[in-house]
Structure 1
Amino acid sequence: MEQRSRFSLGTAENQILVILASAFVVLLIASTVYQVSQIRSAEEWAKSDYIAKTIIFRVVNLDRMRPEEIPGFVETASSCDEGFTVTDKPYANPSETAAAKDIRRSVLANFGKMPKSISLDKSMNDVSVANAAFTQRDFAFFKCEPDQINFPIEGVVISIRLKTGEWFNLGVTEQKFDFGGDTILSAIRIDLFFLLVGIIAIFFVRRLTQPLSRLTKAVSRFGSNLEVEDVEENGPGDIRNAIRRFNMMQREVRDEMKRRTQMLASVGHDIRTPLTALRVKAELIENEEAREEIIASIEKIERITASALDYVRGESRSESKQHVDLRALIESECSEFEELGHQVSFKGEGDMHYDCRPIALARAIRNLIDNAVKYAGSAEVELVKGDECIAIWVLDSGPGIPDDQRAKVLDPFTRLSEARESDQGSLGLGLAITKAIVDGHDGLLKLERNEPKGLKVAILLPFDRCRAA
C-alpha cells in the first residue's frame, strides 16, 4: 500500500518550490563567495575603481570648500576604513617602487576620464604614493571597533595636491572579508532582497499550480472512490483544457459504470425467469440421471450470474462511507460462520473505529473466511493495528496457493489446480471481488504462504482513516 507523505517531489508544485529554494541557496552561496573573493592587498585596492571614485569625490568637494569648512568635513566624512586628512605636505615621502608608480598612473588615468565640467587637471607632480605602517592614531582608525584591526597594519597613502596647495591624503589598507559590522548588514540586506523575491515567486508559483493541485486531488478521489466532482476550470490554457477533459472523462466513466451495472443487474434479474421455467421442466424429466445433470447445469448458471453481479457490486463505490467499529464488524462475520457449525476463531486488539463502506468490506471479509472454511475446514481471523496500516488477516491450513499463481488468482474467473478447486465448484470470483472492494478502500490485498501449510490473506487498510471512538 502506497503511503504518501504530505510533501512529495512527485508534484510539479513541490518540484518548482524546491528549484526556487535551491536557486535561493545558490544565490546566497554565490554572494558569500563573491564577498570572500574580494580580498585584495593594499596596492591592488589602491588601483581599484572604488578608490579612484572616492578620491575624485573627496578632491572635488575639498576644492570647492572654504578653508574654514575643511576641518569639519574631514572629521565627519572620515570613517574607520576610509579615513583621510588635509595637510600642508604629503603624508609621507613618496615611494619609488614599481607598485607605487602603477598606483600614481592609475589615479591620473581616472582623473583624465572625468568630464570637462569637473576640473581635475593633475600631473605626476600632483600625486604622491607612499607605503606606510599605520597605528590606531593615524587617519580615522580610532573610529574602528576594538580588535577590528590588528595594529600596526601595512598600507598605502595616496596624496593629491589641492587647488589651495594643500594635500589630500587617503589611507588604503588591505581589504578582507569579515563577519561583522557592515559586512553582516550588507549580507542581511542581500538575504532580505532574495527572500522578498522568493516570496513573490512562490506566491505566483502557487497561483499557477493551484489548479493542477485541485485536479490531482480530484483524480485521486475519482480513482479510489469514483467520486465525481467537477473541478473549477482556471489557470493557464493547457491546464484549463486538461481540467475540462478530465471533467468530461469522469462523467462519461461514471455513466458507463452505471449502464454496465444496470445492464448486468437486468440480465441477472431477467435470466431467473427462464431458469426457473427450465428447472420446473427439468423436474418433470423421468430419467433421473438426465434430470440431475440438467438441474446441476441450471444451478451452475445461477451461481455464475450471482457471482458476476457480486463482482460488479464489489467494484462499485456507490455505497456511502460510515464510521464503524471494525472489530465488531469482523466479529459479526465470524459469528455467522460459527453459528453454521464452522470452526472460525477471532483475535483482535481493542476497539478500532474506521471510515469504510461496511457492507462491501463485510462482503470482502466473508469471502476470505468462506474460502478458508471451504478449502481447509477452519479459519483464523486476526485484526492488527500497525504503524502505517490496519491489517485483517485470515489464515487457513489448506492446500494453499502456489507462489507463481498468487497474482493470477486475483483476476476474475481464474481457476487453480485440482488440489485447491477439487469439487467445490468455484467460479474464480471470490478473491477478485475481495480485491475490487479493497481497492475501493485504497487498500491492498496480500497473499502469503502460511507455514507449515496453508494460506495467509491480509486486507491492509490505510491507517489515516482510523479514528478514536
Structure 2
Amino acid sequence: MTNFAKRLWPDTVASRAILILVAALLAFHLLGYWAYRVGVENLATAGQDRGLAERIVSIKRAIASLPQAPERDRVAHDLSSASLEVHWSKVSLVLGTAPMTERTRAMEARLKELAPELAAESFRVGFADDGALGAGEANAYKHMMLVSVRLDDGSWVNFSSSALGASQRLDWGLTAIMICFAVGIVVVALLLLRWATRPLRDLALAAERFSLDQAPQPLPETGPVEVRRAARAFNTMRERIRSLVTERMQAMAAVSHDLRTPITRLRLRSEFLEDDATRSLIDADLGEMEAMIDSTLDYLRGGASSEPLRAVDLASVIETIVDEHVDQGHSVSLVGLNSAPVQGRVLSLKRAASNIIGNAVKYGEAAKVSITDAGANFAVLVEDEGPGIAEADCERVFHPFVRLEESRGRQTGGSGLGLTIALAIARSHDGSITLENRPEGGLRVTLLLPKLARTVQPAADMRA
C-alpha cells in the first residue's frame, strides 16, 4: 500500500467500521435496487403482455363479426387507444419477408402462451426497428411493436404498440428515500460505534497516563466482553507492576539500611587512624559507597515521589543550585528568564537539575545555564566546556550504570545513574532531556518542562 493510500485509509476502529458499514450498505442498496427494478419490470411486462394478448383477441373478434369494410375500419379506429393503435386493412402491416429476430420469436411465443386462440390463427409479429415495415427513417411506426392478425376473408387487423418499447426511467423519489435511509443508518452507527469504542479510548488514555507516583485509578471494566477483558488485564498488570516496584523498593531500603550500619562503624573506626592520608582515602571510599546507595535508590524509584504536585518556579530552583555551586568556587553562570512557573515537585526537580549541572561542572570544568521560553515549554540549557561525547553515546548515556570512559573514570566518581534519574524525573513531569555536542566544543544538555496553565511574560535577567 502506498503512502498516499495509507493516509486515506482510516486509522481508528470506528472509522474502519463505518467504512465497512458504508460499503455493505452501498452494495446492499445497489443489489436491492437492481432486484426491485428487475422484479417491477418483470411484473409490469407480464401484465402488459397479458393485457395486450387479451385486447388483440377481443378486438379481432369484434372486427371479424362485422360484414362491411367501412364498419370494420371505423370500429378498428374506435377501439384504438393511446398504447395500442388498431387498423383494418387488406394487407398485413408486418411484411411477410420481415426478418425473424430473437425478440420477435420470444414475443410470438409469449402471445401464443397468453392467448392460445392466436396459436390457431395466422398472425405476424415484428418490430419496426428490425425492418418489419420496410420503411425509411421517417416512418411513423418506428420503435414500435407490430402485430398483424389475418381474418377468415383474408383481410388483416393490424396492431401497433409503443408501450413495450418505452424505456424505464430512474425513480428519483425512491433513490432519494434510499439515500436518506443510508445516511440515517450511518449517523446512528457512528454514534453507537463511538459509544462502543469509548472504553478502548479510555484504556489507551489510562496506559499513556500510567505513572508509579500517582494514586491508582482503576479503569472501569465496561463495554463489550473483549474490552472488559482488556480493561481487567490492564488493571491487573498495573497492580502487579506497582507491587513489584514496591517490593523492590522495600528490599533495597532494607539492604541500604543494612549497608549503612557497617559503613557508619567503619567511618567511626577510621577516626582512630593516625595516618591522615589513609583516613582520607577510607572516608572517600565510604562516601562513594553511600552516594552509590542513594543513587541506586533514587533510580529504583523511577521518578516516583510522595511529594504532591504544585506550582513551582523553575527559575528559582535553578538559581538556588547555581548559587550553591558558585559558593563552592565553581565556574557557573545563569542567564535568561527570572520566572518560569511549572507544575511539579520541588525536591524532584531540584535533584534532576542538580544532576545535570553537577555533571557539567564535574566533567566540563565550567557551566553556563540559561532558561528560555520554548513555546509550550520552558527550556533549561546547560552548556559546558568539556570534551563532549560521541554521537552514538547520546542515547546510551541515559541507560542505568553507563559510565563513559572518556569522562567518567573512577577518579571522578559517579555511579552512572545521574542522567538516568534526571530523565526519569523529567518524564514524570511530562518533560524530556536531550544531549548534543556544541559546534565550538563541549556538551549542551536541554531540559524541557511544560509551562503552568497560566501564561507568564518572560523577562530577561543576567545573574552570575
Common fold, TM-score beyond 0.5? Answer: yes
1:428 to 416, 420, 441: 416
1:253 is displaced (CA, Å) by 1.6
Higher mean alpha-carbon deviation, 304-313 vs 219-228, is at 219-228
Distance 1:340 1:293, change over 3 A: closer
Tell me the residue number matched to 2:123.
Answer: 125
CA distance in 2, matches of 1:227, 1:458: 30
SS of the residue 2:347 aligns to: helix
Higher mean alpha-carbon deviation, 272-281 vs 19-28, is at 19-28
Matching residue's letter, 1:210: R
- RCO (CA 8 Å, sep 6+): is it higher in 1 or 2? 1
Tell me the residue number matched to 1:85.
Answer: 83
Tell me the residue number matched to 1:365.
Answer: 353
1:429 is displaced (CA, Å) by 1.6
Tell me the residue number matched to 1:170.
Answer: 163
1:59 is displaced (CA, Å) by 5.8
Distance 1:355 1:294, change over 3 A: closer
Distance 1:188 1:320, change over 3 A: farther
1:399-418, aligned counterparts within 5 Å? 399-418=387-406
1:430 is displaced (CA, Å) by 0.9
Q: Which has the larger radius of gyration?
A: 2
Matching residue's letter, 2:144: V
Matching residue's letter, 1:157: M
CA distance in 2, matches of 1:379, 1:99: 105
SS of the residue 1:410 aligns to: coil
- Partner deviation per Cα, 1:240-278 (whole Å, 9 max, x = no partner): 333223212211221222232234334444544433332
Higher mean alpha-carbon deviation, 367-376 vs 389-398, is at 389-398
Distance 1:51 1:122, change over 3 A: farther
Matching residue's letter, 1:284: F
CA distance in 1, matches of 2:186, 2:100: 46
Give the TM-score normalised by the residue count of structure 1.
Answer: 0.68
1:99-138, aligned counterparts within 5 Å? 101-108=101-108, 125=123, 127-131=125-129
Tell me the residue number matched to 2:304.
Answer: 316
**RMSD (CA atoms):** 4.7
Contact in 2 for aligned 1:95/1:129 (Cα 8 Å): no
Contact in 2 for aligned 1:324/1:358 (Cα 8 Å): yes
SS of the residue 1:293 aligns to: helix
- Partner deviation per Cα, 1:390-437 (whole Å, 9 max, x = no partner): 543221111212233333322222222254447322222211111221
Matching residue's letter, 1:345: S
Note if 1:56 corresponds to 2:49. no
CA distance in 1, matches of 2:112, 2:350: 94
Identity across the alignment (%): 29
CA distance in 2, matches of 1:125, 1:220: 85
Distance 1:107 1:413, change over 3 A: same
1:13-412, aligned counterparts within 5 Å? 14-18=12-16, 20-21=18-19, 24=22, 53-58=43-48, 85-89=83-87, 94=94, 101-108=101-108, 125=123, 127-131=125-129, 156-158=143-145, 168-170=161-163, 172=165, 185=173, 187-222=175-210, 228-269=216-257, 271-316=259-304, 318-348=306-336, 353-386=341-374, 391-412=379-400
Distance 1:451 1:253, change over 3 A: same
Higher mean alpha-carbon deviation, 193-202 vs 26-35, is at 26-35
Residues matched between the structures, number: 404
Give the TM-score normalised by the residue count of structure 2.
Answer: 0.69
Distance 1:356 1:175, change over 3 A: farther
Distance 1:171 1:239, change over 3 A: closer
SS of the residue 1:131 aligns to: helix
Distance 1:237 1:357, change over 3 A: same
Higher mean alpha-carbon deviation, 272-281 vs 96-105, is at 96-105
1:19 is displaced (CA, Å) by 5.2
Distance 1:393 1:96, change over 3 A: farther
Tell me the residue number matched to 1:447.
Answer: 435
Distance 1:161 1:262, change over 3 A: farther
SS of the residue 1:395 aligns to: strand
CA distance in 2, matches of 1:58, 1:451: 92
Contact in 2 for aligned 1:409/1:416 (Cα 8 Å): yes
Contact in 2 for aligned 1:307/1:429 (Cα 8 Å): yes
Give unmatched runs, 5+ long, in structure 1: 1-6, 38-44, 68-82, 133-151, 177-181
CA distance in 2, matches of 1:203, 1:96: 68
SS of the residue 1:250 aligns to: helix
1:51 is displaced (CA, Å) by 5.5
Give unmatched runs, 5+ long, in structure 2: 1-6, 60-80, 131-138, 150-156, 457-464
1:22 is displaced (CA, Å) by 6.1
